[in-house]
């Protein structure tokens, strides 16, 4: 389940592919086209700045018909990861 977050911001240009900021995390979908014509979902979750920057990239096995569908899935998974990570802190 995706939750509504008060500290979440996004650009209005294309919400399905725009990076999202949640607290100290920046979540960016990075869908990539495959040779078969479908798209693979992957998400980058960055935190910190300068030499202390950490960037996690998660790749998913599911394939999607559109770039937007892959981006939406990746962002949703990134939001869940941040929620689960910050819930225990």
What the chain holds in terms of domains, given with CATH numbers, is 8-87 (3.30.160)
Q: Where are the alpha helices (DSSP H) in the chain?
A: 67-87
At 8 the pLDDT is 43
Q: Tell me what pLDDT residue 87 has.
A: 84
Backbone φ and ψ of 60, nearest 5°: -115, 150
Half-sphere exposure of 89 (CA within 13 A, CB side): 7
The reported pLDDT for the residue numbered 71 is 96
Q: What is the token pair recorded at 4?
A: 């509504």
What does the alpha-carbon distance between residue 21 and residue 25 come to, in Å, rounded to a whole number? 6
Predicted TM-score (pTM) of the model is 0.77
| Calpha distance 11→52 (Å, rounded) | 25
> How far, in Å, CA of 24 to CA of 85, rounded?
12
Return the pLDDT at 36.
Answer: 96
With a cut of 50, which residues of the chain have pLDDT below it?
1-13
């Amino acid at each position: 389940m995706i939750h509504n977050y008060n500290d979440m911001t996004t650009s209005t240009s294309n919400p399905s592919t725009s990076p999202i900021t949640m607290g100290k995390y920046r979540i960016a979908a990075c869908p990539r086209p495959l040779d078969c014509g479908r798209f693979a979902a992957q998400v980058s979750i960055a935190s910190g700045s300068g030499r202390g920057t950490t960037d996690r990239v998660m790749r998913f096995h599911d394939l999607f018909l559109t770039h937007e569908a892959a981006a939406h899935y990746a962002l949703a998974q990134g939001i869940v990861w941040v929620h689960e990570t910050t819930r225990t802190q």
